[in-house]
Amino acid sequence: MKSQFRLASGAFLLLCLTMAATALSQGEHRQQREELGFLKHALTEAGAPALTSEQETQLKTLISNFRSAHHPGPDETLEAARTAYSAALLAGDLTAAQAQATTIAGRTAELSGARLQAATKFQIDALAVLKSGGQLDVLRQKLGDERVVGLIGMFAGVPPFGGPPGGRPGGAPGFGIAHRPGGPDRN
């Protein structure tokens, strides 16, 4: 009886592991396939030539490289300045708070500038891929220049004009207490 139970349990466990592995691989495949989906749809709607497999590979590589190089995350300098700013405010130290506000503004501008430069390079490279296949001119005629730029920017998670998600400079949350990790607006 015990051996039958062990055999059934082992078979069930093997079945569960197989199903989990299948679900994970399908999810990864679906994500890769859909990554260029809205661009392909825009090309079809515009009557532009389809992407070649080489263009798809180039675009996926650009997207992957951009995303891995510019992953969002807290900036230690900015976080330290925010903490010092909050402490200065609570202590009523105007001079220290103003000094930290200057640091926060400078670092936020620096991060925004770096992200905008990277987004600019990414977009120029992606547009060059589309130009090489004859799709860019058709898209520009059908959608207009601003929409094409927005389409290419969003295609790698870059908001139009290189701005950060949420509209805050540097892609970082605000610098008040309520916006820091662990603050009232975060779980």
% pLDDT > 70, the chain:
63
Q: Residue 18's pLDDT is what?
A: 52
118: nearest Cα among 150, 149, 156, 148:
156
Is residue 170 pLDDT above 60, yes or no?
A: no
- Terminal-residue alpha carbon distance, the chain: 49
Choose between 93 and 176: higher pLDDT: 93
- CA pseudo-torsion sign 110, 113, 117, 118: positive
Q: What are 40-63's pLDDT values in tens digits?
A: 999 999 999 999 999 999 999 998
- Rounded to an integer, what distance in angstroms lies between the CA atom of residue 158 and that of residue 152? 8
pTM score: 0.62
The domain limits of the chain are 1-35, 37-179
- Other residues' Cβ atoms within 10 Å of the Cβ of residue 129: 21
Is residue 186 pLDDT above 60, yes or no?
A: no
Average pLDDT over the chain reads 76
